[in-house]
Chain A
Amino acid sequence: MPPLNWTADTDLTSTGDEPAIPADTAVLTPQQAPVWARLVMPSIGDLIFLLTFWFLTFGSWGARLLSDADTGWHIRNGEQILGRHAVPYTDSFSYTMHGSPWYAWEWLYDVVLAIAHKFGGLNGVVVLSALLIALTFTTLFRMASRLCGNVVIAAALTLVAIGASSIHFLARPHLVTWLFVLVWLAALDKFRRDGNWKRLALLPVLMLIWVNLHGGFLLGLVLPVIYATANVWTAVTSSDVQTRRQNWAMARRIGIATLLTSAATLANPYGYKLYVHLSEYLGSSFLMNNISEFLSPDFHFVQVKLFLLLLVVALLAFALTKTSVLDILLVAFSTYAGLYAARNIPISAMLLTLVSAPMLARALDDIRLSDDLSSAIRRVARSTDNFSRRMMALERQLTWQVLPVALVALTLVVCANGGMIGSKQLLDLKFESKRLPVQAAEFLASNKIEAQVFAEDGWGGYLIYRLHPEGFSVFVDDRHDFYGEAFLKDYLKLTKLRRGWSDVLDRHWVNYVLIEPDAALANALRASADWNLMHQDGTAVVFARKVPIAPAMVK
């Protein structure tokens, strides 16, 4: 079988896409940048960090990080773990399923959140998340610019990736997965270049941490498999004996590393049972079709359009230059993952950035040197290339990162000071009272209502945050994997007002209903003779059963 024409990558010894660092860089900027410049001049990487971090804390995005109330139960769970010095194995947040087995597989991140919360309240939680996001995208930029040797391409793609990923900028554990994915890609990429097994040695060790931080650790097993598949493919299709042998060897090494990494995933409080639980969760089509962030993305949103832009750029890069099996596999994987569920878009966007950047840079080179293109295009390519070389040379000198460190330090000081500098309130981040039942929660607290309250899943995390320390337990919250299919089907009968909704309220001993004023269930309760309206504000109403079900009946 003759080889396919993606030979660019099959020859490992020449490492086809090693950054084309121009030899004349030094000539362009012969002298070192002066010390003052290194102190105060931000590099492009610094700028990306500064802008992202600023917008996510002091800027207008800060409150958005708290728009998902999940964060609330993560914080309270972390506090419980810190207080008891033990990871929970059963639920203590709900009254409906109190004491049922619960997999708090993100326990370590919950602890981190609790510490951040103790340090600076919700400000601290937002600052931690902003720091993670800013670090992720600065790392993405640095990796992309190292891979392609062209800061202009790297910066442009990173900015689009930030825009696309902003669909999931939330103060939740998934943020660490983004950073870990980059670490994995960096290690795998280095290994692909030199075949040195030591590059992979870190993966099993890091997995010990990742598996306890977020369920996305599964990507830590999927990504090496994609890399190994590319090696196997090349080994099978190549006619060159040397290439075959090298690729088999690499696939074998990645395989061993993946096995060790898989073994490391067992170092979590729930052992192999975590896999059983995750496969039930991710394998449930009911859950996948009803949890909003698992739904397919809506291409009417600007973030999703930016994701599409990255896809088109990747295709453009493919059209303009030769490519490798690995790149094709990575792009196909990111495309399908992104189309399947909106929550995968950030990871997909990062993968697409890293795949496209070096190809675009190569394509730019091709265009610059091509004979059969019109001179205008070549001229544009040449000036872009010159500009980015100068920028790259500058970028290589400005490595002190003074400004990012200063901004983070300043923010931490503000945070520790209750969000104030002097008498000026700079940071005051709270759960949104427009979307969450802030006043109604106060009403519950002042009336000492502690259980048997129905409220929708999206509000559960907030109620746990606000009321659980006072002894309140919820009907349901966002831990859909914990509540499971049967319970959630009951729950949907209430929110979608299906037949038998009042039986569900009886079955779960609900005496109070906390719900949006316009909801169908609110209308049904208004019409019902068995319920009284007790509280009403712009965001929520509270109904109470006229003849409460005795608490003694609660298990």
Chain B
Amino acid sequence: MRKYLTITRLFELVIVLGIFVLAARSVGDPDFWWHLRTGQHIVETQSIPYADIYSHTNPGKPWIAHEWLSEVVIYGVYRSVGWLGLIVAFGACITAAFWIVFRRSDGGPYVAGVATLWGAIATIPFWGVRPQMFSLLLASMFLYLLDRHRESRNTAVLWWIPPLVVIWVNVHGGYALGLAIVGVAALAELVDAVVMPHKRHESLHAARALAVVLVACFAAALINPNGYRMFLYPLETLSSPSQQSLIYEWASPDFHLPRMQAFAALLIGSFVLMIVSGKRAPTRDLLLLVLTGYAALRSSRHIPLFVLVAVPVVAASLKALLEVHGWKLVSRQDWATLPTRKAVLHATLALVLVGAGATRALQVANSQKAFETSELPTSAVTFIKQQHPPGPIFHSYEWGGYLIWQLYPEYRVFIDGRADLYGDAFLEEFVRTYKAENDWRNVLRKFDVNTVVLPPEAPLAVLLQEEPSWRTVFSDNQAVICVRRDPQSTAPDTTALAQQ
């Protein structure tokens, strides 16, 4: 016991648990709910859906459930352990991704710890119980394996990658990033071979190994329910202008936001530190920095990928810079015999830290219900369940997933987070209707919408509340429900209730 608990180990624990405490957070991702429902569907029917089952606007349209394995995992954990299980599992997944980053970073535990924490803070806005977190972890593992290969030139390390691709392609569409990382690594070796003639043989050999692994990765990526179609999937999203502009995470980062400042600092800092320290990063990292930097500026959801690449570069630069200035950096000390007093102190501190982490997880799990009530239209959903206003419904984009979880199959949704399924034209039509622009009336007619569930600030909600042909049957801080006053409407009379 006392052999392990050196002060650097303790610091490592602080970093790991610190990230865990930050990462353990309420389930707030709007897409979580339809993932949960899909997981349930897959488990109960023992089959993966290939066509839409949730919407009344695009029923039966081909749907690539590319995150099916994540969905099964999410549902499995939810069924067996509940909220605590989900929060701990995904918190652990994020923590593991950054622990790997920490281990990849040079400069001893303190420099690496600061750099890792900095990077972790930059990615906080993207954390949650969502399949992307598996991509984060897998990308981190890929980079670790490629680092090991670069250091040892041991090709055997690379053969861990294709099996990981099989998992990745079934948990999240981001698997393409994994292939890209391997491709860039191969390219970097080729660049090195051209630029540094004295290392040509070694670089070419490495490039060849990486190219073979890349081919194996492509083959491995075929092992998924949708086969080769999964190759096209990432391209479709990346080339869809509507998804890129309408969905917040696909848009460029907004540097007015306080939470984007850590990313801005890392983006500028990683390059400035590299320049100031005079420590040139390896070609692969330079290429990845530029490419992932571009990806992150194009769509803020790629910021975590940039962070995975940038943190070790920052740590290496910081180390070089500090050493030039005469600092003696502590290196990781795994084995040491400590005096009993110290060992007890360290053990106590470690227990306190672990206790704090556990308390945090429990506390977050317990507050999940309250969080749901404050963030989601829970009362409106209860109202719909009790009063059964006539369908089909129209609602805001963010609520689609929650309504699928709560109301399917009684009600089918108008739209939800599966933007790729709905397509650009439909997304734009939806947005204009939500904003009460264009001919919203015809759109609601076209889909026979009889009930509208919207946040009070939605322009369409404001308009419908003043429309004589619609009647407001429910209204609270979260949501407004308006029902069409059609003579043919099969709605039960809810006027009395609304007047209460």
Chain A residues engaging chain B, CB cutoff 8 angstroms: 1-2, 4-6, 285, 288-289, 295-300, 304, 308, 312, 315, 318-319, 323, 328, 331-332, 335-336, 339-340, 372-374, 376-377, 496-499, 501, 518-520, 523-524, 527-528
Contact = CB atoms under 8 A, between A and B. Distances in A.
A520 B197 CA distance: 65
Interface residues of B, number: 45
A496 B459 contact: yes
Given A2-B324, A501-B462, 11 more contacts: A4-B324, A299-B294, A300-B298, A319-B286, A332-B268, A336-B268, A339-B267, A373-B197, A377-B194, A520-B459, A523-B463
Interface string B428-450: 00001001111010000000000
B197 A374 contact: yes
A372 B192 CA distance: 12
B256 A288 contact: yes
A124 B351 CA distance: 77
Contacts of B227: none
Nearest to B435: A520
B197 A372 contact: yes
A301 to B, nearest CB: 9
Interface stretch (B26-34, B160-168, B273-281): B273-281
A282 B198 CA distance: 55
Nearest to A3: B324
A498 B462 contact: yes
B254 A295 contact: yes
22 contacts: A2-B326, A4-B324, A5-B278, A288-B256, A289-B256, A296-B252, A296-B255, A298-B251, A298-B252, A318-B274, A319-B274, A339-B255, A373-B195, A374-B194, A377-B195, A496-B435, A497-B436, A497-B463, A498-B459, A498-B462, A518-B437, A518-B438
Contact of A335 (B268, B436, B438): B268
Nearest to A297: B252
B372 interface: no
Given A296-B253, A523-B436, A524-B463, A374 B294 contact: no
A508 B244 CA distance: 38
B437 A520 contact: yes
B275 A323 contact: yes
Contacts of A304: 252
Contacts, number: 114
Interface in B409-439: 432, 435-438
B131 to A, nearest CB: 24
B341 interface: no
A499 B456 contact: yes
Contacts of B457: 498-499
A431 B23 CA distance: 52
Interface in B250-286: 251-256, 264, 267-268, 271-272, 274-276, 278, 280, 286
Contacts of A498: 457, 459, 462
B252 A315 contact: no
Interface in B195-221: 195-198
Nearest to A522: B437
B245 interface: yes
A304 B253 CA distance: 13
Nearest to A375: B197
Contacts of B328: none
Contacts of B264: 336, 339
A520 to B, nearest CB: 4
Contacts of B393: none
Interface in B16-56: none
Contacts of B276: 4, 6, 328
A372 B196 contact: yes
A2 B325 contact: yes
A373 B199 CA distance: 11
Given A372-B196, A524-B463, A527-B463, A328 B272 contact: yes
A457 to B, nearest CB: 18
B467 interface: yes
A477 to B, nearest CB: 23
Contacts of A332: 268, 272
B65 to A, nearest CB: 28
Nearest to A237: B325
Contacts of B252: 296-300, 304
A323 B275 CA distance: 8
